[in-house]
Amino acid sequence: MQKQTLVPSNSIAFVVFIKTPGLSPVKTRLAKGIGKDLAEEFYKLSVRSVEEIGEELQRQSQPQKLDVLWAVAEEEGLDSAPGPEGFALFQGTGSLGERLANIYDQLSTKYDLILFVGGDCPQMRVDDIMAGIELLQKQPSFVLGPAEDGGFWLWGGSLKVRKEIWTHVSYSQDTTCDEMRKQLLEFAPCLDLKSYTDIDHAKDLKSLHDFFVAQDALLPAQETLMAWLNKNA
């Protein structure tokens, strides 16, 4: 009998890019407004919220296979990454574009659809991410979740991507999403999802608080983060 593949058709990788507090500085711009300790507290609560979002995606995507993977900035941080053992990857070295390319290249031979998010967007809605998955399943394409500061909170693809596409983008600029979209559109459709606000500055905590208040329901980790915001936003 033919050996069964480990990754079935329409398999999905939901990849969260994270840093490890104590090994790398986290949320440095936020820390300037609220202090290093509170910024680290926020980041840890945010990562836990994103982990629960991934778990909910796994439930909603069944019977399709969706793996939640953790792309860790520090090799020595792999053992402390969230999730089960074996689901953490070292981002590698070099620029952000080079590290994104490294992870995408590793996973594109194993998964049909790949989604990249950061660990610091705890307000992501599962419905919005599922919409991105559905778009990628309809045709070979890309999706972007624009951030209001000009970056993107989600990147998704179902096609091979040349390294130059990753490395020719200026990251952490107000043109980042536009540059990425322009690069991708040369090869396939690139569709936008809902826009979100990145949590980079102290004032953004109030925006996150207001966003959570407006939601009909929150995941347990988001409720915990909401309680933290009530004290610190």
The full set of domain ranges for the chain reads 12-201
Residue 191 has pLDDT above 80, yes or no: yes
Residue 71: predicted pLDDT? 98
Express each pLDDT in 135-164 by its tens digit: 999 989 999 999 999 999 999 999 999 999
Buried/exposed 69-85: b ≥16 CB within 10 Å, e otherwise: bbbbbbeebeeebbeee
Express each pLDDT in 66-84 by its tens digit: 999 999 999 999 999 999 8
Residue 163: predicted pLDDT? 94
Q: For residue 44, give the amino acid letter.
A: K
CA distance 53 to 40: 20
Q: What does the pLDDT average to over 34-38?
A: 97
Q: For domain 12-201, which architecture applies?
A: Alpha-Beta Complex (3.90)
**The two structure tokens encoding residue 212:** 């959570």
CA distance 74 to 92: 8
**How many other C-beta atoms are found inside a 10 Å radius of the C-beta of residue 160?**
11
Residue 22 gets the label, from left (phi > 0), alpha (psi -120 to 50) or beta, of left
CA distance 193 to 79: 33
CA distance 226 to 233: 9
Q: What does the pLDDT average to over 10-37?
A: 95
**How many other C-beta atoms are found inside a 10 Å radius of the C-beta of residue 65?**
17
Q: Which of 207, 173, 177 is nearest to 192 (CA)?
A: 177
CA distance 70 to 47: 10
Q: Which of 161, 148, 160 is nearest to 97 (CA)?
A: 161
| 108: Cβ contacts below 8 Å, ≥ 6 apart | 114, 160, 161
Residue 31: predicted pLDDT? 97
From edge to edge, which strands make up the β-sheet containing 66-72? 88-90, 66-72, 12-18, 113-118, 152-157, 142-146, 190-192
Residue 86: predicted pLDDT? 87
Residue 10's pLDDT band (boundaries 50, 70, 90)? low
Tokens 């994103």 — which residue? Answer: 50
Tokens 């031979």 — which residue? Answer: 109
